[in-house]
Amino acid sequence: RMGGGGNDDGYLGEAEATNTLRCRRRQETFMFTFEDADGSVSTSGAAFPINGTCGSYLRTASGRRNGLCPTVLSLHGTGVSGQSQADSYKRKLKKRKGDQFMFGVDGAWLVTPSRHGAHNWEHNGRRSALAAMESLSGIVESRFPSSVPSPDPYRVLFAGHSMGGHGAWIQLVHSPDRAIGGMPAAGWIRKESYGDSNNFMLLDVQLAQVSPYQKMVLESTVAENYVDTFVENLKGIPLYMRVGRNDRAVPPYYQRRIAREIKDVVYSRRGEDGGKFVKMAEIAGKEHWWWDTTSENDGGTLNDKDMRKQISFMLQRSHARFSSFLNAATKGLGHPLPLGNSFRVVSFRSCAFESKGGLRVIQRAEYTAPGVIDVRLHGKAGTRHVEINTKNVIIFSVEAHPILLDMRNEDRERNAGN
């Protein structure tokens, strides 16, 4: 029960309000509020790591434990709340007395922000999801400084379903240096080509009065959300896509197409095998969403045995992701997997893109076209050098991004901009 009042100088009256608070146990999902990227107050679902520990996943690239736990950022679909998305990560326990279900992810924090509005997880929605994850990290550090490992906002497995599947793709292509893996389920590639209501410059009666130049300018405002434009940024990130074979809301076509494009553009043209990084599963007999894959309440769309296996695989190999490609070359070390001897950075707007391999496009020459940075590693261990070529780039930076440094959490903020 809460009350309020005032004094003679500015009397506001008195009022009482009664709220009912949910009591949650640590092994259950919960909700928290946070200050969103736009200054408003938003909500998110979350779940502690199963058994409250992250084990070997706390190690950094060098193998040193840093006291942080990887994060699964899972984005919900249309009409679904953050709480419901968090509850999707549950499975029924047949041999356990008392609790029937186990919630959360083994070895990682689960964060499931709520998002509403016409532009879902694009742009401001993307910023909102990152704000939720980073806010929870601060909450845990302040309230559980020693008993619980904090969620690491720079080692993230991006996941989601339907609208959230598209949101996971958006996060992956714009924050590839944070990503330890991606698990988009039933996600589309471009909103403008998904469904009749989103068609861009096709059905509007005023199109006869719109010049090609105006179309170019207008389309450039949404081009940062075209996932297939930025597939080069996905190199080295393990991806596991999932869709029901009978899905009529987001047909399997979209997942098939993006999987084929990643394999062809990112790997095959370099003579590399993308099969170990790009995997896709079409579940026979399933449509857009399901709770039971092979048995009752086995985790369903997002958390059945197969999905849990993929999550575990991505968490186990996550420490190999975070070693700077450029630093490894200049220090005479063998290049760290999985970037290989070459990779490409593609960025449209600097405010939307973070970094790939520590590289970030700051300014482009032509604003309607993406900026491209090509990186190639030459020589053998001990005599390596890096060749960088750019296209439509005026300024780029090599960032000492927190995930590219082997440092403890308390050093991150101080060193992030060095």
Are 185 and 161 within one domain?
A: yes
Running DSSP on this structure, what letter comes out for residue 205?
Answer: G
Are 166 and 305 within one domain?
A: yes
Q: Who's near 314: CB < 8 A, 6+ residues apart?
A: 157, 180, 181, 183, 238, 240
Are 104 and 182 within one domain?
A: yes
Domain final residue, candidates 290, 305, 330: 330
> Residue 180 corresponds to which amino acid?
I
Domain final residue, candidates 303, 330, 357: 330
Q: Who's near 19: CB < 8 A, 6+ residues apart?
A: 2
Asked if residue 144 is part of any domain, the answer here is yes
From first CA to last CA, the distance across the chain in angstroms is 48
198 or 45: which leads in pLDDT: 45
Mean pLDDT on 77-97? 88
Picking from 81-85, 180-184, 260-264, 412-416, which range would have the lowest pLDDT averaged per residue? 412-416
Asked if residue 403 is part of any domain, the answer here is yes
CATH of the domain at 151: 3.40.50.1820
Q: What does each C-alpha distance from 407 to 70, 209, 324, 331 come to in angstroms?
A: 15, 57, 13, 18
Q: What is the pLDDT of residue 253?
A: 94
Running DSSP on this structure, what letter comes out for residue 20?
Answer: P
Are 322 and 355 within one domain?
A: no
Asked if residue 232 is part of any domain, the answer here is yes
342 or 164: which leads in pLDDT: 164
Asked if residue 18 is part of any domain, the answer here is no
Are 282 and 349 within one domain?
A: no
Mean pLDDT on 371-388? 82
Half-sphere exposure of 380 (CA within 13 A, CB side): 0
Interatomic CA distance for residues 219 and 15, integer angstroms: 51
Read off the tokens for 210: 């719109």
Asked if residue 7 is part of any domain, the answer here is no
Tell me the average pLDDT of the chain: 83
3-state secondary structure of 139: helix
| Single pTM value for the model | 0.86
Give me the residues paired with residue 46 across strands.
30, 111
> What does the pLDDT look like over 300-354, one tens digit per residue?
999 999 999 999 999 887 654 444 444 444 444 333 346 778 899 999 988 899 9
Interatomic CA distance for residues 290 and 246, integer angstroms: 12
Are 258 and 313 within one domain?
A: yes
Are 162 and 53 within one domain?
A: yes
| pLDDT band for position 254 (cuts 50, 70, 90) | very high
Q: What is the pLDDT of residue 64?
A: 45
Are 368 and 318 within one domain?
A: no
Q: Say what the alpha-carbon torsion angle 126, 129, 131, 133 is, to the nearest 10 degrees.
A: -140
Q: What is the pLDDT of residue 308?
A: 95
Domain final residue, candidates 330, 355, 373: 330
Q: What is the pLDDT of residue 194?
A: 81
> Residue 328: what are its φ and ψ, rounded to 5°?
-65, -40
Interatomic CA distance for residues 414 and 418, integer angstroms: 8
Are 53 and 119 within one domain?
A: yes
> What does the pLDDT look like over 149-160, one tens digit per residue?
889 998 899 999
Q: Residue 67 above 70 pLDDT?
A: no
Interatomic CA distance for residues 244 and 288, integer angstroms: 6
Asked if residue 326 is part of any domain, the answer here is yes
Asked if residue 112 is part of any domain, the answer here is yes
Read off the tokens for 418: 């060095």
Interatomic CA distance for residues 47 and 51, integer angstroms: 11
Are 377 and 322 within one domain?
A: no
Full residue range of the structural domain in which residue 388 is found: 342-416
Are 91 and 183 within one domain?
A: yes
Asked if residue 284 is part of any domain, the answer here is yes
Picking from 48-62, 85-99, 368-382, which range would have the lowest pLDDT averaged per residue? 48-62
Interatomic CA distance for residues 186 and 184, integer angstroms: 7
Q: How many distinct structural domains can be found in the chain?
A: 2
Are 255 and 366 within one domain?
A: no
DSSP, residue by residue, 143-196: HSTTTSPEEEEEEEEEEEETHHHHHHHHHHHH-TTTEEEEEEES--S-GGGSSG
